[in-house]
Amino acid sequence: MNAANNVIHDLMIAIALVGFIMLFFLQSLRNAAITMVAIPLSLIATFIDCC
């Protein structure tokens, strides 16, 4: 269970860093928010078995 908690912790750090970088370079809160939502959604969609 400790390994799963570490993965979730690292994922949250990665999402925050990507959002900050998008905000810093593009200077748009909207683009940063879209990126911060798209990352977890794409990871969730990867592991959902639709069939």
Residues 30-50 pLDDT 10s: 988 888 888 888 888 887 766
Read off φ and ψ for residue 27, nearest 5 degrees: 55, 45
Two tokens at 4?
A: 């799963």
Count of CA atoms in the C-beta half-sphere (13 A) of 4: 1
Q: Which domain holds residue 40?
A: 2-47
3-16 pLDDT, tens digit each:
888 988 988 898 88
What total number of domains does the chain contain?
A: 1
